Chain A
């Protein structure tokens, strides 16, 4: 049973693309067959985060317009042969593709892959409509800020109106130190406002910036954000995994302190 999952947020810059790259790679680590589709036509960047930009020959619009076969446009990941990327076009815009065409494409990909992840563009216009057209379920990414949460709420309303019933939440870039000082909303606060199921909390982690710049997703590594993404993947695949204790310090002193506990 393959699933089409759209990763969306409404607001830009909250971590949709990073999440798509890490969740996709994480699901591949669980031996699932995964394809990532960058639906942000005109602002292509998932390929950069995946470190696959130099392999692009054909793109999403080429497939839709019949300039090539799907197989020709799919780029195999550097590490995981069961992970593929369908890059976006950089020279066109959102109107190059229609929701019906996207639905047809995702339905064709279902035959070969377990998970089809759609990296949604910011906004609620045609790019968003294209991305959600073929989706069975949605992962909404937000940061603990009012602006991101307000946009996420709007997006959830639109997803519900489009009959996407399974909607789950990732709270990204949480800073425990700020939460403790009372300067940032807690995960509970965010969940109370949005009232949908939480599927993961990713701490703010400079390792993410480093991994993005290197074009190597962090998932599976020992960094806090990497572990958080691994857990999210397991939960998406249906496993019941407890949430990470983000309070835990991982420095030398914390480890020493742990010895005496």
Chain B
């Protein structure tokens, strides 16, 4: 290893990659030098720290943290185990919780979303108004539009393909549910206006079926299947 200590940042905080063979006392000095060198950058930061590249005893971990806290203005909030399986598990649990929660809770938004406006929501959302072309609505859960959907709707934004989009007048440019995207057919504005005049709008629902976005009229049976 060219450097005995490397500081890397990750989404939780910082990861210290340590030389596996250097004597601990020497390594401690290197760590201190490294942090003092970049103290301006980390000034008063609150970070979680994790270690990699070397097996550390509890005492050694404690001494490293102590050295950093004593000599710099960095606040170490906690130590994270660098364990991929555990991380996967935690991530999965958090997302499952969010998905379940987002389907069971919802928010209302009253008003028309116009071109260029984006509405993001951590729960399901009910819009009382239209979503115009060029506007976008993103929800971790379901989307219900009591009006016309003429723009882009993205339901199940954390990857849940069991979510749905409902609109009284379903005319989207794009619908995305989880990772599945469906787009409108290619036709001009005049043709679509003509078609909408010919066929009266009815409430429709978009769901994922066989890896595709399926849009169908809402019937009594529809809600039994969701």
Q: Which residues of A contact B (CB under 8 A)?
A: 146, 150-151, 153-154, 156-158, 160, 182-185, 189, 193, 195
Contacts and interface: CB of A to CB of B under 8 A. Distances in A.
B154 to A, nearest CB: 19
Nearest to A146: B189
A204 to B, nearest CB: 17
Interface residues of B, number: 15
A251 B141 CA distance: 61
Residue among B113, B132, B135 with max Cβ neighbours from chain A (10 Å)? B132
B132 A193 contact: yes
Interface string B108-130: 00001111110000000000001
Contact of B115 (A153, A160, A184, A189): A153
B193 A150 contact: no
Nearest to A189: B193
B134 A153 contact: yes
Given A154-B114, A195-B112, A185 B190 contact: yes
B112 to A, nearest CB: 6
7 contacts: A150-B115, A150-B133, A153-B133, A156-B114, A157-B135, A183-B190, A184-B190
B8 interface: no
Contacts of B198: none
B11 interface: no
Given A153-B134, A158-B116, A182-B190, 19 more contacts: A146-B189, A150-B115, A150-B133, A150-B134, A151-B115, A153-B132, A154-B114, A154-B116, A154-B134, A156-B114, A157-B113, A157-B115, A157-B117, A182-B194, A184-B190, A185-B189, A185-B190, A193-B132, A195-B112
A106 to B, nearest CB: 25
